[in-house]
Amino acid sequence: MSAMTSVRGRPKGRALLEMARALLPQMVAVRRDLHMNPELGGEERRTAGMVASKLCELGIGVQEGVGGTGVVGLIRGRGAASASSADPSRDRDPGPEHCVALRADMDALPIDDRKDVDYRSRVPGAMHACGHDGHVAMLLGAAKLLASLAGEFSGCVKLIFQPAEEGPGGAAPMIRDGVLSNPNVSAVVAAHLWPDLPTGVIAVKGGPVMAAADSITITVTGEGGHGAAPHRSCDAIVVAAQAIMALQTVVSRQVNPVDPLVLTIGTICGGYRHNVIADQVTMTGTVRTLSPTLRRTVPDVIRRTLEGIARSAGAEIECAYSPGYPPLVNDERVAALVADSARKMLGKRHVIEDVEPSMGGEDFAYFLEQVPGAMFMLGAGNPEKGACHPAHHPKFDFDEDAMAIGAALMVDVALELLERR
């Protein structure tokens, strides 16, 4: 092990967890403030300002406006190339200096908060229903731990506070703005609060863990007419119904059943009134895949299926296929390191590595296309505290005790990555 990356005498495992638990009241205060003041994707100005202010209070170099409203902090350990500056992008290139990154997303969802708690959202039509308020609070807690330990590790840790994960996407703009360079990031880790798992449990695995999330817009064009004379028209609503049913065979009959695929039509819009044959129907949907190969081939399968329906009905069907977030694929080595750190901190029975992939999407996948890394699922379910609803539910909540575990584990993994360079 080189002197550049050695880590001597730092707290690990349960000792680090106890340090994080001492910070839990501060994390809870931040989380509840953010929960009461949610901001949608691309609008996270108040949140970003709070993050930047708290990082500055810790003496951490801060860069704002990365990829829109993103914030980046940089913590340099002993032997780092230069001291923290007000703008880490202006630091000189540290050459071989080792740098790992931790990421949290900041945006809320366009949902009305229906929880009966004193920290419910004060913003109509906006709510933190996916735990991003907790992600920010955890990473700020991790920042405080890392700042207190800066004299005990070498290299640096980059803190990425990302906007717009729920849409239109913030990871790719941050990457374009150079978030993974100067200094170059060699690994990146993120936590996702997961109420489907009980508090105190961690789930992580290498390989695909979340799906590509693509979208389709289907336009059916027929010929309108009087509702009493359907034989003189081409009913776009009937053709759309046939198309929806035919698309179910894409999943059940036209792709390998061992390759996960979800094809959901979410909206249908067409028709004018009860006695008029509709001449056009527009539908939108989502296509979720884990396999890159299936992701490339399924658009043609969908179009071929729709063309068959159009020919048989004498209608026209157009399908616009829009690629979204790519599959989230954890690096095997980094995922194994997360699992190892979690076992030492929580005990073997609290770590799940046989994890079923989720067909949800996450734009953290863009970071993992650039550098090795992993996202782990942080158990935060506790029915006694009302943490029993799934993500994106209007009563979503999580057990705030989980934030101490998440902060401690992110710090431990980051320092292990520096140590094992």
> pLDDT digit string (tens) for 286-310?
999 999 999 999 999 999 999 999 9
> Amino acid identity, residue 227?
G
Domains of the chain and any CATH numbers: 3-208+328-419 (3.40.630.10), 212-325 (3.30.70.360)
Amino acid 421: pLDDT:
75
* Residue-wise pLDDT tens digits, 308-331: 999 999 999 999 999 999 999 999
Asked which of 69-73, 97-101, 209-213, 326-330 is least confident by mean pLDDT, the reply is: 97-101
Residues annotated catalytic, as ranges: 107, 165
Q: In the structure, what pLDDT confidence band is assigned to residue 237 with cuts at 50, 70 and 90?
A: very high
How would DSSP label each residue in 59-107?
T-EEEEEETTTEEEEEEE-TT-SS---S-GGGSPP-TT--EEEEEEE--
Q: Is 401 helix (H, G, I), strand (E, B) or coil?
A: coil
Could you give the percent of the chain with pLDDT greater than 90? 92
Surface-to-core class of residue 239, CB atoms within 10 Å of its CB (0-12 exposed, 13-18 middle, 19+ buried): buried
Instruction: Name the pairing type of β-strands 99-105 and 156-162.
Output: parallel
pLDDT of residue 7: 43
Strand 99-105, strand 187-198: pairing: parallel
Task: Give the C-alpha distances (Å, rounded to integers) separating 154 from 179, 237, 309, 420.
Answer: 20, 64, 63, 12
Taking only the tens place, the pLDDT of each residue in 333-360 is 999 999 999 999 999 999 999 999 999 9
Residue range 364-371: average pLDDT? 98
**Starting at the edge strand that comes first in sequence, how are the strands of the sheet with 351-352 ordered?**
61-66, 70-76, 156-162, 99-105, 187-198, 373-381, 202-203, 351-352
**Residue pair 93/183 in contact by the 8 Å Cβ criterion:** yes
Residue 104: pLDDT above 50? yes
For residue 278, pLDDT over 90 is answered with yes
Residue pLDDT, tens place only, 137-151? 999 999 999 999 999
328, 290 contact by CB (below 8 A)? no
